[in-house]
Amino acid sequence: MQSDMAFKLVRHLNQGQFVSGEALALELGISRTTIANYIHDLEQTGLEIFKVKGKGYRLATPLSLLEESRISAEIAPHPLKLFHSIDSTNAWLMANKDACPPGQIVVAEHQSAGRGRRGRNWLTPYASQLCLSLLWQIDDGIEAAMGLSLVVGIACAQALRDQGYNDVGLKWPNDIYANGEKLGGILVEMVGQADGRLQLIIGVGINVQLPLSAYSQIDQKICDLQSLKTETVDRNACLIAIVNQVHNQLSLFLAQGFSPFAKVWPEFDCFASLPVYLQFSNGKKKSGYAHGIDQQGNFLLNEAGQINAYLAGEVSLRSQ
């Protein structure tokens, strides 16, 4: 599917009224059969499109579509690349990292093979999330990157709170939460020398307005930004706020390390003092009470009165 033509078609369908296949064909300079094929392809991306004989097509729900010129102006001087549909913004940036400058931003309306932590699939219906990746660089090796996913999480949560989403918080090490449900996630991938220069691909995915069909495909409690406010979500404003806040906080991280972020973590910690499991990749579990993080960003678990630090694992609430 040609991205430029698909963008144009979606924008025509997003006007809130039915548009006939004939009118779309004339406007876009393609055949009605091609229009029908595009409609079918768009539905495969998760778009819900009403089709009524004698009236034509329109989107089931109006979308806040990303505006390249607006975003570019607001995040300058950081370069932006916007895709209609892509397999994964992280994968694209990983493949093209040597041709992109540090600070490069890649965003997409739809991902066909989005990825989460530990190789999990990340479901991305069309224009229903914020899907972005950022290229960053650290010159002092992997130890200097300790706590980076928490830094990015704090930046995202603060940006969303600044946009009026006051219930947004974090779950260690890379989940964005609101009201006890998952709102988004962060995926950081590194390439380079363990004791030298590292290129970092930082991926962020945040639910904005998920179609009802998406909820049945996800095996955990989730929410979206639209459920947190009555006003229509401005995806462009949220994206701009997140990109600028992430850049600002990464600059602070490079200058001062993790210490400033360890101090503010309690303001965002959704699981503080709650009974939790900490599950490891080998299937083993530790149980106790969440006790925050240490100065390196490690998770602290209160196990029968003893505070132990853990570098990796997945935290989940357990019943008391």
Q: Report d(CA 79, CA 102) in Å as an integer.
A: 9
- Across 15-40, average pLDDT: 92
The pLDDT score that the predictor gives to residue 116 is 52
Architecture of domain 68-266: 2-Layer Sandwich (3.30)
pLDDT at 320 over 60: no
Catalytic residue list contains 318:
yes
* 111 assigned ligand-binding residue: yes
* 158 assigned ligand-binding residue: no
Q: Residue 258, SS3?
A: coil
Q: Model pTM?
A: 0.89
* 88 assigned ligand-binding residue: yes
- Enter the tokens of residue 214: 């998406």
Q: Are 129 and 205 in contact (CB under 8 A)?
A: yes
pLDDT band, residue 1 (cuts 50/70/90): very low
Considering 32, 161, 182, 286, which one is annotated as catalytic? 182
The pLDDT score that the predictor gives to residue 317 is 64
Which residues make up the CATH 2.30.30.100 domain(s) of the chain?
A: 271-317
Catalytic residue list contains 221:
no
Chain centre distance of CA 225: 12
Residue whose C-alpha is closest to residue 133's, from 98, 168, 103 = 103
Which residues make up the CATH 3.30.930.10 domain(s) of the chain?
A: 68-266
Q: Token pair 């609101």 is at which residue?
A: 178
With left for phi above 0 and alpha for psi between -120 and 50, is residue 86 left, alpha or beta?
beta
Q: Report d(CA 190, CA 243) in Å as an integer.
A: 19
The burial class, CB within 10 Å (0-12 / 13-18 / 19+), for 184 is buried
* 37 assigned ligand-binding residue: no
Q: Are 227 and 206 in contact (CB under 8 A)?
A: no
pLDDT per residue over 63-108, tens digit each?
889 999 999 999 999 999 999 889 999 999 999 999 999 999 999 9
CA dihedral 10, 14, 19, 23 (to 10 degrees): -50
pLDDT per residue over 204-259, tens digit each?
999 999 876 666 667 688 999 999 988 889 999 999 999 999 999 999 999 999 99
Say which CATH class 3-59 falls into: mainly alpha
* 8 assigned ligand-binding residue: no
- Enter the tokens of residue 182: 């998952």
Considering 11, 197, 285, 318, which one is annotated as catalytic? 318
The pLDDT score that the predictor gives to residue 255 is 94
Which residues make up the CATH 1.10.10.10 domain(s) of the chain?
A: 3-59
* 235 assigned ligand-binding residue: no
Considering 32, 117, 161, 286, which one is annotated as catalytic? 117
pLDDT at 151 over 60: yes
CA dihedral 290, 255, 163, 130 (to 10 degrees): -80
Residue whose C-alpha is closest to residue 175's, from 19, 313, 288 = 313
Highest mean pLDDT among 18-22, 44-48, 118-122, 194-198: 18-22
Domain covering 271-317, topology: SH3 type barrels. (2.30.30)
The pLDDT score that the predictor gives to residue 123 is 65
The pLDDT score that the predictor gives to residue 121 is 54
The residue with greater pLDDT, 39 or 282, is 39
Q: Token pair 């006007």 is at which residue?
A: 15
Mean pLDDT of the chain: 90
- Across 140-144, average pLDDT: 86
The pLDDT score that the predictor gives to residue 319 is 45
Q: Are 90 and 133 in contact (CB under 8 A)?
A: yes
pLDDT per residue over 158-190, tens digit each?
999 999 999 999 999 999 999 999 999 999 999
Catalytic residue list contains 32:
no
Q: Are 65 and 109 in contact (CB under 8 A)?
A: yes
